[in-house]
Amino acid sequence: MTSPTLLSLQSSRARRWAAVGVLTASLLVLMMDMTILNIAIPDMAASLRPTSDQLLWIVDIYSLVLAGLLVSWAAIADRWGRKRMLMLGYVIFGATSVLVLWASTPESVIAIRALLGVGGAMIMPTTLSLIRVMFVDPRERASALGIWAAVSSLGAAVGPLVGGLLLENFSWHAAFLVNVPLMIAAFIAGLWLLPESRVTNPGSWDWIGAALSFLGMILLVWAIKTFGKASSFLVLEGWIALLLAAALLSWFGARCLRRTSPLLEIRLFKSRTFSAGIIAALGSMFALGAALLLLAQWMQLVDGASPVEAGIRLFPAAISGAIASLVAPPLARWLGARAVISGGVAAAGLGLLAIGVQPGQLSIITVFLALILIGAGSGSLAIGSAMIMYETAEDKAGSAAALEETSYELGSVLGVAVLGSIAALLYRAEFSGGHLLSEIDPSLAQSAAESLGSAVAIGDELGIADLANEAGIAFTHSMQVTGIIGGLIMIGIAVAVFLLTPRGTDISAVRH
């Protein structure tokens, strides 16, 4: 169903692009929120003194709730109204951020992060589905999605920088309160600029399907995170969660295929263009998530950068990603979508490879080059989004948006878990035999062998500079080998995307 407001918006080019500004600004806040907490954690831990389990829940609960609710909220938005869902998401996200002023225990922060996940899941897929229904011209839509992808790339890298700047002047509460004015501005502008749209005949609500998708996605993301934190796949609870997730999601998928009006339109994967876009999105976030994790650690614990300096140094990825996202749509009209999207994924792979193949000591120049290539690879998300939405009817926009956002979330989690685990295993293999460990308390030696952060802290505490130096060398070597492995994975994904994308795919052509 296309409302009169939507028809009016489609006739007003200036208002249409202003609406994109509102949608992308709210996306920027969500992307920042995913990474800003990493900077605030030390101050928060010192203030609240959470247990190790509570600290993990503070970090993880946001993404768990977000992943679990993406499908259900997108389906509800199709029925209730996409603008209504977005406005409600703004209210929940902004109001919940204010509650941090009264947060005095770890449990209260966990609850706040969970509520932020509820609001975030309302906002993220709705921004994409509204762009789909606002822009009927595929060429304009591709440009709008390019802006959307550029802001997504900026947000992930801006988070640590903004967090560092805030924490130099304010308490850890500022990492939450920064959301409030931005959400208020988005809500006011959205009321005036955004259209309302909903599906005319969405069918009956599938309560069983909603429960299956929620539990299945939470278990899947939790299992991947569990493997990543343990840096091992020999974790019984992780495998139990993974098998349960596979069973629940398989049941959900079969249920969606049987129903005439499913909660999630799985049949969209029949389109090779759609499938290639989803795989490219997942692959790009796989590289970006792992690179930001490993390189941020290397910059701070090996190269000696402060959190703010590390945030600034990571900025080349954000800048190149933003530029590539804006350039990708016109470049696709010239070279073809298949070449641009597979080339972008391959560029991210080359960035990871660049870290691994440098002979001798890893230099900051090589790291900057790698970040530029990885960022440029994330620019392929613009073409991926356009391909996902190109063959998606307006009444299926919610399903397409939910699947795309899920691929982003899973891609980032998988990148951190898989490549992070490989790096940790390689670090332990190289550093566990270090002669310095035999000279200190066995329990401290075990901690130092587990992670670079522990080794640096113990070395500083005991006044053993060589301990931190040798741990840094072991971490750098492990990161370089991981870069080669990750790069080869990305090259393989690029080849798969190239072969899957139909020859001559033109995302700017009008479909008949």
Residue 43 CA: distances (Å) to CA of 39, 157, 265: 8, 20, 44
Is 60 exceeded by the pLDDT of residue 1? no
Asked if residue 512 has pLDDT above 50, the reply is no
Higher per-residue pLDDT: 20 or 436: 20
As a whole number, the mean pLDDT across the chain is: 84
- The stretch 168-176 carries a mean pLDDT of 84
Tell whether the model's pLDDT for residue 8 goes beyond 70: no
pLDDT at 9: 44
Query: What confidence category does residue 17 fall into, taking pLDDT thresholds of 50, 70 and 90?
Result: confident
Among 64-68, 199-203, 219-223, name the one with the lowest average pLDDT: 199-203
User: For 431-482, how does the pLDDT look when each residue is reduced to its tens digit (9 = 90+)?
Assistant: 865 666 767 777 777 777 777 777 877 877 777 877 888 888 888 898 899 8
Q: Which two tokens stand for residue 116?
A: 């932020």
Backbone angles phi, psi at 314, to 5 degrees: -80, -10
For residue 492, the model assigns a pLDDT of: 92
404: tokens are: 């795309």
Say if residue 495's pLDDT is above 60: yes
- The stretch 424-436 carries a mean pLDDT of 76
Average pLDDT over residues 276-305: 82
Percentage of residues of the chain with pLDDT beyond 70: 94
| pLDDT of 165 higher than 90 | no
For residues 162-190, average pLDDT: 86
Taking residues 101-128, report their average pLDDT. Answer: 92
pLDDT digits (tens, 9 = 90+) for 318-367: 888 888 888 888 888 888 889 999 999 999 899 999 998 887 788 888 99
DSSP sequence for 153-180? HHHHHHHHHHHHHHHHHS-TTHHHHTHH
Under a CB-based contact definition with an 8 Å cutoff, are residues 274 and 268 in contact?
A: yes
CA gap 45, 40 in Å, rounded: 9
Quickly state the pLDDT bin for 391 (edges 50, 70, 90).
Answer: confident
What is residue 252's predicted lDDT score, i.e. its pLDDT?
95
- Alpha-carbon gap, residue 30 to 378, rounded angstroms: 17
Q: How high is the pLDDT of residue 511?
A: 57
Given a cut of 80, is residue 488 above it in pLDDT?
yes
Give the number of C-alpha atoms closer than 13 A to the C-alpha of residue 144, restricted to the C-beta side: 29
Confidence of residue 111 (pLDDT cuts 50, 70, 90): very high
Spell out a b/e string for 55-73, using b for 16 or more CB atoms within 10 Å of the CB, else e. Answer: bebbbbbbbbbbbbbbbbb
Query: pTM of the entire structure?
Result: 0.82
C-alpha 146 chain-centroid distance = 16
The residue among 369 and 379 whose pLDDT is bigger is 369
